[in-house]
Structure 1
């Protein structure tokens, strides 16, 4: 099953869960369930964003977008995390209102059943989405998987709070646990925002990722003199790597080209979709005409 189909699966599951939670939330009068319905509604929006962004970002480079459409996924992931923040603030506001104006919860066991069923469905779908996200290095799908997984935890939390309210009669537990869950999902959203937003500003790869690439380049150090101006960035599922490679002045263009091809393939052995650009410089530039630009 490809990325778009997996993303659409989350759209279907969220549509069903949102409808179920809204109906039961109204029937029980639980602000936690209604808050969960709103949270799941944003998950639905996130799933739709992920579905369309995965389809769009997979388009090949064209005349207008010569570097491809990968950043669509970063935009999507950023929007999705901002939606989680909106949901968190809304939930907290509703919970505070419920604390100030407590009301009894009707049919609590119905709410518990719905929360557990919803958590089970989202857990299974989130695993499928996360697996495909890792395969495609898709930020949008990874964000969507996080949405679904947070829904699992929040749904189970609401089910637990309803159980406690039923056993103890302490209705204040409903909004208090709602606030705790809101803070939790906002914390997870912040972590994801740090991953999805920086590529929009062409931030470098992580130190660990760059060290992997540098290690690969150094494997060929017996065939070149040195390299410098090493730079990296990420755009959606693709990594971009470029650097200057200084070679012996007597090395032929064909040999230099072969060396660059080998370095490129080695880097792509770690980062399958990496785009590698190597600027070749002779040992003594004054002896050369113009440096050769090798693009992988």
Structure 2
């Protein structure tokens, strides 16, 4: 299953790479026909698409490689680096586009054959939108940042090209050539924002920043499938490396259980989490023995060592489960209140 998913990701990013090469050629031909600065800006940005898609293809190939001695957690983090690399390239391209737009405002040049050039741009919008949407959809399913980053890049390219078509229409209607350079300025600013967003997400991933959406998904899985034997979960940490998910936590179980039963319960706990994730999932669970304070929120009915009657459940949420302390502290506070 995992092998098929990796191959599918590679085919999708290869499609993006080939399409980017062809569409970049079309945009430069449209610039040759029109001498439009806005179209040139769009074509220059498409060079970034080619480079980024090529690097994304390599990163997805590398992230699919199995763990080895030097990379015990796998190679999935390369996808964060790929997204950051793509974001940095986008920001650099946006700076060149803005500089060129300012120069053309100061030194205007004639524009021609706008209708013919716009036809090529409309075709690139259609292709980029279809491929970009596919990459985004599949990237979210596979939790692949490289696919998502490339998909967002293509979608932003479609939006910027659509803005370009609007500016061309305004030039044809009004005859004001300066609209071309102003559109390039807006285009450059739009690209800079998208590039910064990608780079920021990449840095957060490389620094193992908490993904709140992913954490909440894991917490909801635990809540939905909570068993009576799972007395307490704490010190929960969730990290995504490419399509691989890494989870570690402390699970409180009855202290009088035999090792075999503890092992089976932890195994079932891990399978519950794995069944709710499409990619490879690696889980490390530290078993903690219960304390007498846990009796207040423990639901094991036939517990032979219970010292206190059950009082109330503790609602599991991400704020509680990530703490490195047992939940009986909060239970004690609630009971006192």
Give the TM-score of the pair, scaled to structure 2: 0.79
Q: Matched residue of 1:245: which SS? A: strand
State whether structure 2 residue 249 is matched by structure 1 residue 243.
Answer: yes
**Equivalent in 235, 239, 253 of residue 233 of structure 1:** 239
Q: Do the aligned partners of 2:33 and 2:116 also contact (CA within 8 Å) in 1?
A: no
CA distance in 2, matches of 1:80, 1:39: 11
Q: Is the 8 A contact 1:220 1:263 kept in 2?
A: no
Segment of structure 1 superposing worse, 110-119 or 260-269:
260-269
Could you state the TM-score of these two structures normalised by the residue count of structure 1? 0.90
Whole-angstrom CA distance in 2 between matches of 1:224 and 1:130: 36
Going from structure 1 to structure 2, the CA distance change for 1:118 and 1:212 (only over 3 Å counts) comes to closer
Could you tell me whether the CA contact under 8 Å between 1:111 and 1:162 is conserved in 2? no
Distance in 1, Cα, partners of 2:266 & 2:195: 40
Contact 2:143 2:243 in 1 (8 A): yes
Runs of 4+ with deviation above 3 angstroms: 215-221
Gaps of 5+ in 1: 285-296
Equivalent position to 2:165, from 136, 156, 159: 159
C-alpha deviations, 1:9-39, integer Å up to 9, x for none?
Answer: 1111111111121122133211111111110
Cα RMSD for the two superposed structures: 1.8
Match of 1:192 among 198, 202, 205: 198
In structure 2, the partner of 1:279 is: 286
- Please, which moves more after superposition, 87-96 or 227-236? 227-236
CA contact under 8 A between 2:214 and 2:238: conserved in structure 1?
no
Preserved contact between residue 30 and residue 118 of structure 2 (Cα < 8 Å): no
Aligned match of 1:169 in 151, 175, 179? 175
Q: Which residue of 2 aligns with 1:294?
A: none
Distance 1:159 1:205 in 2: 37
Answer with 1 or 2: which has the greater Rg. Answer: 2
- Write the distance in 1 (CA, Å) between the matches of 2:266 and 2:163: 54
Q: Distance in 2 between matches of 1:23 and 1:280?
A: 64
Post-superposition offset of 1:127: 2.2
Aligned length: 283
User: Within 5 Å, which residues of 2 pair with 1:6-155?
Assistant: 6-155=12-161
